[in-house]
Chains A and B, each alone.
Chain A
Amino acid sequence: MILVFVEHEAGVPLATSLESLTLGRRLSKVMGLPLHASVAGDGARGVAGALGAYGASAVHAVEDPRIADYAPTAWARALAQVAEAGDARVALAAATDRGSEVMAHVAAIAGLPLAASCVAVAAGDPFVVTRQRFGGSLLEDARIDAGLKLLTVAPYAVPPEEVEPAVEPEIRTVAPDLMEGDLRVRLTGREAADDGRVSLSDARVVVGGGRGVGSADGFRSLEELAGLLGGAVGVSRAVTSLGWRPHAEQVGQTGARIAPDLYIACGISGAIQHMVGCKGAKRILAINTDAEAPIMAKADYAVVGDLRGVLAAVIEEIRRLGSS
């Protein structure tokens, strides 16, 4: 089988997991193997129905009250056992925080190589993956020699595709055989973000600021614009390194990956580490004094000029239209 680790939130599969499932289905076709999914955590069983639309013929629901909440090593143990019992040839997950972590544990448990952040797979002999390096600004073709190939799938690399007609997956209950040490790391609590703002990952509009904003104070106009558009503020690494804004707002290789309808990049030069964080944006509008800045070539729209003046005028225009 081809086995896909599916993440979900309260019974709804994550979009990134549907991407992995889509890649898994392509592999199942090429390799002539059934596509199975493995789901853990509270509500796992309830996810199964939604996965039939993506071609999963069976869903392994990991049910163990000790690990109903996230427990990386134990979830990996369960996944490794499902893979072994079903003689899986490929096991994959989305390259999210949890997907990357669970697959790393599976790889360590099974003593096998793991190819992280893959964007494409050629499932022949040899089995070759194309994977991201430097957050995606460089690609590597690599060959995996193992009975069970382990990989994670880079977000946004494979658009989710439903199958017609949807299949009705068979649900199989998994009672994992856990080892003592597997339970040492479990999620023991959650703390809500304290500000009630729109989160960067969900925002339809992100107003981004770089070194060109000039100071911590300079972000007031970015916040105002974000507020008017119901969006969130994002920043470049330079800004968090200078201590102007909290790291939670950083967009880029070591920060958040965003996928808004519009990213408004203000005073951001466009270093590759930043661009890998916002390449999921549908549209990019750059505001920059330097018409030759790298961001200009990567944007859909650009305004050349000092961002203070431009933002003030844009804010005024939006307010004028709003009050008329």
Chain B
Amino acid sequence: MEVVVCVKRVPATAGKITLTEDEVDTKFLSFAVSPHEECAVEEAVRLVEAHGGSSTVLTLGPAEAADQLRDALAMGIGEAVLLETDGTEWDAVATARAISDAVSARREQGRGLDLLLFGNESADTGDFQVGVRVAHALDLPCVTGVKALQIADGRAVAKRQVGSGWEVFEVDLPAVLTIKEGINLPRYPSVPGRLRAKKKEIERIVPERRPAGPERLRLHLPPEQERGVQILGTGPEAAPKVVEILREIGVMAQ
């Protein structure tokens, strides 16, 4: 089983986002891969543990994105490829093209490919499309939003969660899957894993950026949605007030 998993370095925001003139202010932020992708990395490691073969993590981003590749290596991914940019933002079309080219080149070099994994959408730009575009470029089937996966006899049974349960898709390998958080609980990298990852060589490729749009004009913060909080009280004494509100809103069963 040959698995390639694509990740993106994104700022790990928790509180309110602040902006510099035209960018997210990352001065006080750390970076990580998007949560869906962390699960895609874990899934890649588990697939190779279960079926043998090898795994590769690939990212398009600035030189610093090597940190995120090393995190994946520390979790048990075998090799890493950095499609290095100058830090300028790439749109989804350009990103998909660079990834497709890199994966095609590997296949031409005789590297196998059974599964190409992405996160369902990145945490920052949330474009919901890079995996699908790559699937079209490589002429591979694609299932998105995968939250449960079984591989047997050269086929993938991939499930998506919907309100009423699960939708099931079966596709032949090789295939592109976009993974959702919840498919697994990612492991913490071990200390020996971290040490191994530090020493590993990262393959670097510098792709050509060909923007296709949408063209970003400006970033801005949404208007604050202060709801004007009404404090109902402190501790258990607030219970009658709470129930009064439940009645008012009309959510009491009786």
Contact = CB atoms under 8 A, between A and B. Distances in A.
Interface of A: 70, 72-73, 95, 97, 100-101, 103-105, 107-109, 113-117, 128-129, 131-146, 152, 181, 184-194, 199-202, 204-205, 228-231, 237, 240-241, 243, 246-248, 250, 253-255, 261-262, 271-273, 279, 282-286, 291, 294, 296-306, 309-310, 312-314, 316-318, 321-322
A271 B216 contact: no
A108 B132 contact: yes
B165 A247 contact: no
Between A113, A181, A231, the greatest number of chain B beta carbons within 10 A of the residue's beta carbon is seen for A113
B126 A181 contact: no
Given A128-B217, A145-B215, A248-B182, A199 B164 contact: yes
Nearest to A97: B145
A255 B234 CA distance: 31
Between A192, A231, A294, A302, the greatest number of chain B beta carbons within 10 A of the residue's beta carbon is seen for A302
Contacts of B159: 191
Given A107-B133, A113-B213, A303-B238, A261 B249 contact: yes
B231 interface: yes
B251 interface: yes
Given A146-B213, A262-B249, A303-B233, A181 B36 contact: no
9 contacts: A107-B129, A114-B129, A117-B126, A139-B220, A262-B246, A299-B229, A301-B232, A317-B239, A317-B242
Between A132, A142, A272, A282, the greatest number of chain B beta carbons within 10 A of the residue's beta carbon is seen for A142
A114 B227 contact: no
A297 B226 contact: yes
B175 to A, nearest CB: 9
Contacts of A303: 231-235, 238, 242
A135 B222 CA distance: 11
Contacts of A185: 141-143, 169, 171
Contacts of A142: 213-217
Contact of A271 (B14, B121, B213): B14
Given A108-B136, A229-B253, A247 B142 contact: no
A250 B39 CA distance: 15
B218 A140 contact: yes
Contacts of A136: 222
Given A133-B125, A313-B239, A143 B213 contact: yes
B182 A250 contact: yes
Contacts of B143: 185
Nearest to B148: A191
Contacts of A115: 214
A229 B251 contact: yes
A49 to B, nearest CB: 24
A101 B167 contact: no
B238 A108 contact: no
B144 interface: yes
A306 to B, nearest CB: 7
Contacts of A133: 124-126, 219
Contacts of A109: 136
A103 B93 CA distance: 14
A82 B236 CA distance: 60
Contact of B167 (A70, A285, A286, A309): A70
A235 B121 CA distance: 21
A104 B217 CA distance: 22
A133 to B, nearest CB: 6
Given A144-B214, A145-B215, A138 B24 contact: yes
B127 interface: yes
Given A309-B236, A312-B236, A190 B214 contact: no
A142 B212 CA distance: 12
Contacts of B166: 190-191, 193
Interface in B200-234: 212-222, 225-234
B63 interface: no
B91 interface: yes
A305 B206 CA distance: 55
Contacts of B249: 261-262, 282-283
B64 interface: no
B214 A72 contact: no
Given A113-B93, A272-B13, A321-B243, A305 B236 contact: yes
B214 A113 contact: yes
A129 B217 CA distance: 10
Contacts of B245: 285, 301
Contacts of B141: 73, 181, 184-185
Closest 3 CB pairs of A and B: A247-B182, A313-B236, A313-B239
A317 to B, nearest CB: 5
Contact of B165 (A188, A192, A204): A192
A125 to B, nearest CB: 14
B107 to A, nearest CB: 17
A228 B17 contact: no
Given A116-B129, A285-B245, A298 B225 contact: yes
B17 to A, nearest CB: 5
A158 B156 CA distance: 38
